């Protein structure tokens, strides 16, 4: 089972925890500008994902994985991300990036 974790620079970041193993990461580009980072992660057990609001002061939220969209395969999660770049004439793209340790 796979989930997609989202982070938006300057707004919030999502951090995997034990039981959530990052597999692939992508920057979501609008034109040339990165707007978000998506991490496809293998869900190895039910847990709570760390979501940190980056406003001052930062706020930590723990979101149960049961509330995340789930995908049966890595390919299904990739297809879901591809939907983001498939609308009209908007110049959006996904750029693969290295999966950071503890991403």
CA distances from 37 to 29, 34, 40, 98 (A): 9, 8, 10, 11
What does the pLDDT look like over 42-99, one tens digit per residue?
Answer: 999 999 999 999 988 889 999 999 999 999 999 999 999 988 777 666 668 899 999 9
Q: What pLDDT is attached to residue 93?
A: 87
Region 1-13: mean pLDDT is 95
DSSP 8-state symbol, 81? H
Task: Supply angle C-alpha 74, 77, 82, rounded to 5.
Answer: 125
- Is-above-0.85 flag for pTM? yes
Secondary structure (DSSP) of 26-43: EEEEETTEEEEEEEEEEE
Helix (H) or strand (E) holding 75: helix 74-82
Radius of gyration for the alpha carbons in the chain, expressed in angstroms and rounded: 14
Statement: residue 100 has pLDDT above 90: no
């Amino acid at each position: 089972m796979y989930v997609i974790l989202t982070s938006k620079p300057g707004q919030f970041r999502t951090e995997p925890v034990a039981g959530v193993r990052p597999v692939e990461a992508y920057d979501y580009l609008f034109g040339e500008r990165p707007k978000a980072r998506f991490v496809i992660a293998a869900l190895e057990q039910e847990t709570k994902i760390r979501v940190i609001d980056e406003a001052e002061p930062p706020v930590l939220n723990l979101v149960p994985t049961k509330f995340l969209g789930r995908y049966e395969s890595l390919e299904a999660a990739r297809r879901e991300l591809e939907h983001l770049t498939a609308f009209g004439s908007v110049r959006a793209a996904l750029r693969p990036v290295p999966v950071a340790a503890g991403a």
